[in-house]
Chain A
Amino acid sequence: MRVALRARVFCSLALLMSVHAGAAEVAEPDDYWTGPINSDVPATITGGVVIHARELADLLRTASVVLIDVSNAPVRPAGMAPNSAWLPLPHDSITGSLWVAGAGQGKITPEAERLFAQTLARKTGGNRDHPIVIYCHERCWLSWNAARRAIRLGYRRVHWFPEGIEGWRASGFSTVATEPERAETS
């Protein structure tokens, strides 16, 4: 038991260090990131806090947190034969998350922007001091962009979790199959 715990701590540390080492040279862009989505990310986010797996686990235990996954959702391409199979694998989010796909694009569509703002407002009850955690995958800029977007919407306790779903699982925490949020029809 103790050995397992030690190994787990060791692995988490190794992961943490590797994440830091990989991200050390990347500066925060002035605006949103519009380069390749899966590339090295900065170590910081101005106006928000970077959080790591163990701290996130503690935060989730002790506070009411709005947990947002901004991973991309697969969309059936137009022009596929009507009878051809479209079977994207189930998407696993950190347990307790809302999945708001599209919120992390460098150039966001108006629909995705509205859905993101509405979801944050609804889940925080309009309280700009409510803690928010935003993530996607490891080495993924979508969460960085979405965190900046939340900060610009005026939220004062935005946490960015750069290790993402992979880092969460590698630290031994659970994920669950999740469906993307849909815009409310008005």
Chain B
Amino acid sequence: MGMNRPSVRLAATIAIGGLTWLGCQAVAQADDEEAARQARWAQVQRAVFADRKVMDGASMLQLEAPPRALDPALVPLTITLTGTKPVKGVYVVIDNNPAPLAGHFIFGPAADPRTLKLRVRVDQYTDVHAVAEGADGQLYAVAKFVKASGGCSAPAGAADAEHLGQMKLHLSEGFTAGKPLQAQLMIRHPNFNGMQMDQLTRYYTPAHFIRTIDVSYAGGAVLHVDADISLSTDPVISFGFVPRARGQLKVAVRDSKQQSFERSFDVPAG
């Protein structure tokens, strides 16, 4: 079975040469890719934040994202505020998606903004930026690179008119006055982005997605979300709020076809 000497030498030469060549290519390519990522972020920044300066946010917030996503249509993101400066909102930007701004989350007086979770679509390998906006209007960004592709055209299943707009809420624990609670909100909505094919007709399903979500507790604003086509089907969003007195958590959702959905949830005693 053994190869004779010249062929071993030839194979080794080819292998070493090939590896060297691939190595050089890889280094050159990595430089190119880094430059391309920076150029794209600069372009996206201009489109989303115009001339506003965006500073490094390492001391303000953290972003957790899977380096390689199992499902590009359901990529989980967690944003944790770690700084001491008050923050009025968070932007989630998926640089290489055609609509890069996945969501703008604005915290109300009743919010506990420290932890925010959502699930998004990723269309191709991309940097994901979480950008915190301080109460003073300053912007602070952190980024994670996510390897996922095809999330925007992944089949989303049929529109489920019967359950459209239905909501569920999970609370981390019961009500104790002044003690922050974490809420997980689930909304039934296909969030069609216009790039998914109908499995039956084979034509593209028209876009139909959630535009805004408003959450309040006992009449005080918790969270306003401006969403876009990058939220996953059946969006799940986790956020914190501080209940000062007994009340209901009210959620109002409006979508791109001007349909509205509302639901109020009791917050049982702890």
The stretch of A46-54, A79-87, A157-165 in contact with B is A79-87
B-side contacts of A29, CB under 8 Å: none
Question: Is residue B83 within 8 Å, beta carbon to beta carbon, of the partner chain?
Answer: no
Residue contact A89 to B40, C-beta cutoff 8 Å: yes
Residue contact A38 to B17, C-beta cutoff 8 Å: no
Residue contact A81 to B202, C-beta cutoff 8 Å: no
For B208, give its contact among A79, A87, A105 (CB under 8 Å). A79
For A7, give its contact among B18, B96, B155, B201 (CB under 8 Å). B18
Tell me whether A86 and B99 are in contact in the complex, defined as CB-CB below 8 angstroms, given that A7-B17, A80-B229 are known contacts.
yes
A-side contacts of B44, CB under 8 Å: 85, 87
Residue contact A87 to B98, C-beta cutoff 8 Å: yes
A-side contacts of B155, CB under 8 Å: 36
Tell me whether A85 and B193 are in contact in the complex, defined as CB-CB below 8 angstroms, given that A4-B21, A6-B14 are known contacts.
no
The stretch of A16-24, A55-63, A70-78 in contact with B is A70-78
**Which DSSP category, helix, strand, loop or mixed, fits chain A's interface?**
loop
Question: Is residue A174 within 8 Å, beta carbon to beta carbon, of the partner chain?
Answer: no
Residue contact A8 to B202, C-beta cutoff 8 Å: no
Q: How far is the CB of B156 from chain A (nearest CB, A)?
A: 13
Question: Is residue A167 within 8 Å, beta carbon to beta carbon, of the partner chain?
Answer: no
For A84, give its contact among B21, B43, B194, B228 (CB under 8 Å). B228
Question: Is residue B78 within 8 Å, beta carbon to beta carbon, of the partner chain?
Answer: no
Residue contact A89 to B20, C-beta cutoff 8 Å: no
Nearest-CB residue, chain B, relative to A8: B21
B-side contacts of A78, CB under 8 Å: 194, 206-207, 256
Residue contact B21 to A89, C-beta cutoff 8 Å: no
CA gap between A37 and B202 in the complex, in Å: 10
Q: How far is the CB of B1 from chain A (nearest CB, A)?
A: 22
Residue contact B18 to A6, C-beta cutoff 8 Å: yes
* Residues of B20-53 whose CB lies within 8 A of A: 20-22, 40, 43-44, 47-48
Number of A-B contacts (CB under 8 A): 86
Q: Mark B78-106, 1 if CB is under 8 A from A, else 0.
A: 00000000000000000010111100000
Residue contact A74 to B256, C-beta cutoff 8 Å: no
Q: How far is the CB of B234 from chain A (nearest CB, A)?
A: 18
Which of A36, A38, A77 is packed against the most chain B CB atoms within 10 Å? A77
CA gap between A6 and B53 in the complex, in Å: 49
* Residues of B196-242 whose CB lies within 8 A of A: 197, 201-203, 206-209, 211, 226, 228-229
Residue contact B47 to A87, C-beta cutoff 8 Å: yes
Question: Is residue A173 within 8 Å, beta carbon to beta carbon, of the partner chain?
Answer: no
CA gap between A36 and B198 in the complex, in Å: 10
A-side contacts of B5, CB under 8 Å: none
Question: Is residue A42 within 8 Å, beta carbon to beta carbon, of the partner chain?
Answer: no
* Residues of B88-144 whose CB lies within 8 A of A: 96, 98-101, 124
CA gap between A38 and B154 in the complex, in Å: 10
Question: Is residue A106 within 8 Å, beta carbon to beta carbon, of the partner chain?
Answer: yes
Residues of B at the A interface (CB closer than 8 Å) are 13-14, 17-18, 20-22, 40, 43-44, 47-48, 96, 98-101, 124, 150, 153, 155, 193-195, 197, 201-203, 206-209, 211, 226, 228-229, 255-257
Residues of A at the B interface (CB closer than 8 Å) are 3-4, 6-8, 10-11, 34, 36-38, 72, 74-81, 84-89, 105-107
Other than the given A81-B211, A87-B99, A107-B202, 18 more pairs (CB < 8 A) read A3-B21, A6-B18, A7-B17, A8-B21, A10-B18, A38-B153, A72-B153, A75-B194, A75-B195, A77-B193, A77-B195, A77-B209, A78-B256, A81-B226, A85-B48, A87-B100, A89-B40, A107-B203
> Would you list the 3 A-B pairs with minimal beta carbon distance, nearest first?
A79-B256, A3-B17, A77-B207
16 inter-chain pairs at a CB distance below 8 angstroms, sorted by A residue, are A3-B13, A3-B20, A3-B21, A34-B202, A36-B155, A72-B153, A77-B193, A77-B229, A78-B194, A79-B208, A79-B211, A79-B255, A84-B101, A87-B100, A89-B40, A89-B124
